[in-house]
Amino acid sequence: MDKKIMIGLLVTLLGLLVLSGYNSIESGAQAGYPPTVPHSIENRQNCLMCHESGVMGATVTTHPERPNCVSCHVTQ
C-alpha cells in the first residue's frame, strides 16, 4: 500500500479514537469523581428500574451490584 495512504488511514483512525473518547465523562462529572445525577430523584428511589437496562436512553450502570447509588452519585 502507498505510504501516503497508510499515513492518512492512521491519522484518520487516531482522530476517530480521540473523538470517540471526547465525551466519555458524563455530564457534570469531573475526573476522579462519579457522574452527578442530571435529573430529580424525588419519587425515584429505584435507580436500577431505568439504569440496569437503559430504559428511555438512561445510562446503563456498570455496577448494578452496588445497593445505594446516591451514596456516590449526587444530584446537581
Q: Where are the domains of the chain?
A: 3-71
State pLDDT tens for residues 1-48: 688 888 888 888 888 777 666 555 455 567 888 888 999 999 888 999
State pLDDT tens for residues 52-73: 999 999 999 999 999 899 999 9
Q: What is the pLDDT of residue 25?
A: 47
Q: What is the pLDDT of residue 49?
A: 93
Helix (H, G, I), strand (E, B) or coil at 49: helix
Q: What is the pLDDT of residue 14?
A: 84
**pTM reported for the whole predicted model:** 0.55
Residue among 2, 70, 7, 60 nearest 40 (CA): 70
